[in-house]
Structure 1
Amino acid sequence: MPRKRATYGRKKKSSVGPVIGGILISLASIAILSGIGYFGYIAYTRPEVDEQTMCLKTGPVEIKALLIDTTDPVTTKTLTDARNKFKEEMGALPVGGLVEIYGLTDVKGELIKMFSGCNPGDGKSVDMWTSNPRLQQRRWEDAFAKPLQEVESGLQQGPSGKQSPIMAAIQNIKLTVFDPYKTLDIPKKLIVMSDMIEHTDLYSQYKSGNDFAAYRSSPAYADFRTSLDHIQFKVWYIDRGIEKFMTVAHPNFWAQWVQDNHGVWDKAIMLEGVNPSSTPSGAKS
């Protein structure tokens, strides 16, 4: 009986490899398309920036205004302390935050605009995949950091002024800096670097001292009254060595003034050093 020859069927080619390859290609394609979609979405949804101010066109995320009293001389010691506090405040400003800095003059309502712009963020604040960190760093330095350094180094001793119209200056800043953004629910802060001795032809603390009732009965009350709603108020005090303005009664007067105008009183910080003082003309009682 003849032996049956053993038969071996040909092995079927496995279909697993091509299937896995197809899956991997599909996954890679999905990943690429997802990446393109993500970066496209980020670019599309990124808020537009005004190239002049470096502020978002939708508005700032915070507003910080500084009023620097340059109507009287300030010592080097006090200026050094002020510069240190200035650096701290600017360092705490978030990306997209607006800062405006003004110098006080002895003319009611007249201000010297020293700086205005938003913090665009430095190179560390942007995504390397969707932005150019080096370009962003240069933009931050040119539009924000360097101009602020110039303001800081420009804090100099001022000549004695005939008046010190602090209230009128605050009113002007409120109208020009804060009011354009009054519909935005964002932090709003005002810092005043001054001896805070109000002196104008309408009202003078050299004559009335810290009596808030005397201020309320003066023509200045109606003229300088302004709405400081939701604005946080802070003072960097310049010490003039005048006894009646060295007690808590003086900052309490300003706290009452801020609250009377519906603002939010934060605090008063005394800057280092005692500065020269001179009684301006018409200030004697």
Structure 2
Amino acid sequence: MARRKKRRRGSSPLAPIAAVLGIGLVAAAMAGTYYFAYRDTQKPAVSEIDLCPVDGHEPHLAILVDTTDPMTLTQLELARQHIEDKIDDAAIETRISFATVDPDGSIRQDNFFSMCKPETGADVSILTQNPRLVEERFQSEFAEPIHAALDQLLRVPEASSSPIMEATQELAARIPGFAVSDAPRELLIMSDLVQHSEVFSFIRGDDWQSFVKSGGPTRFGSAYKGATVSVLRVPRMPDRAAAIDDFWVRYFDAQGFDRVRVTQLGDL
């Protein structure tokens, strides 16, 4: 019997497709690596002192904490949660600044803090950076100092007066580039809004009309024009609530704020 000839195996019809797909995947990987490398080279140079872009074009979140009057532990904890959420939600490179309301200039100086939010390990590509090292730097150079500064702010003792307006303006002046920035800006105030200083005092019975008569609005600047203001409000002096609300609505409008948000920190 004649032996059958073995049929020569031909190449699979899918081989060319697999080859093309393989080349495509390699090209895509190379393109991805190039993209992330290029993106990293386009990031602005950052200051080693405050982690902010040296070109000064960063968004701002300015936080003013008023502990001049008593607060319950519940209100303090709620305030902490709201502030930490704001910081967590802030974009990378946002300058986070803290200040306190206190009549003592040295206390205000000691509690001023300003630093930009850097990338976390989750924000970088494993192709060009080490996420673990980036996360360690985020924790040690930003998260830990921020939490320590907030802890210190919330422990500032009560005071004999509450110069909220004055502290608001001083904060804008202290933050590098804040008053002239065209980047997004937000002022977050944690306070009962019961202004009490030589210039104006709800305790003495002042209101917007008396403030206008004293020439107060003539001293306004434009540092907050176009910014957003968010208030974490501690309820106090219900008998004067209408006058307090009327004053601050007019004050924020005169300062040029675009938007006003209010959240009440209740404890009952």
- Fold in common (TM above 0.5): yes
- In structure 2, stretches of 5+ residues that fail to align are 1-22
- Structure 2 distance, partners of 1:76, 1:166, is 22
Structure 1 residue 195, shift from structure 2 partner: 1.2
Q: Is the 8 A contact 2:208 2:246 kept in 1?
A: no
Equivalent residue letter for 1:118: C
* Alignment partner of 2:68 out of 54, 66, 71: 71
Superposition CA RMSD, Å: 3.0
Q: Is the 8 A contact 1:109 1:172 kept in 2?
A: no
Counterpart of 2:253? 259
Structure 1 residue 63, shift from structure 2 partner: 0.2
Counterpart of 1:20? none
1:152-204 superposed Cα distances (whole Å, 9 cap, x missing partner): 433545543222111111111122226x2455432100011111111112221
Q: TM-score, normalised by structure 2?
A: 0.79
Q: Is the 8 A contact 2:36 2:125 kept in 1?
A: no
Counterpart of 1:118? 116
Q: Is the 8 A contact 2:99 2:153 kept in 1?
A: no
1:196-230 superposed Cα distances (whole Å, 9 cap, x missing partner): 11111222111234x3111111254444x221211
- Structure 1 distance, partners of 2:258, 2:233, is 18
- In structure 1, stretches of 5+ residues that fail to align are 1-25, 275-285
1:6-25 superposed Cα distances (whole Å, 9 cap, x missing partner): xxxxxxxxxxxxxxxxxxxx
Larger Rg over CA atoms: 1
Counterpart of 1:215? 211
SS in 2 for 1:207: coil
Aligned length: 245
* Structure whose residues are more often strand by fraction: 1
- Structure 1 distance, partners of 2:257, 2:106, is 19
Q: 1:83 to 1:36 in 2, by over 3 A?
A: closer
Q: Is the 8 A contact 1:100 1:177 kept in 2?
A: yes
1:116-140 superposed Cα distances (whole Å, 9 cap, x missing partner): 1111021000111111211110111
- Structure 2 distance, partners of 1:36, 1:157, is 48
Q: 1:77 to 1:41 in 2, by over 3 A?
A: closer
Once the two structures are superposed, the pairs formed by residues 234-253 of structure 1 within 5 Å of their partners are 234-240=230-236, 242-245=237-240, 247-253=241-247
Q: 1:144 to 1:262 in 2, by over 3 A?
A: same
Equivalent residue letter for 1:199: H
- Structure 2 distance, partners of 1:270, 1:188, is 22
Q: TM-score, normalised by structure 1?
A: 0.75
- Structure 2 distance, partners of 1:190, 1:164, is 18
Structure 1 residue 45, shift from structure 2 partner: 2.3
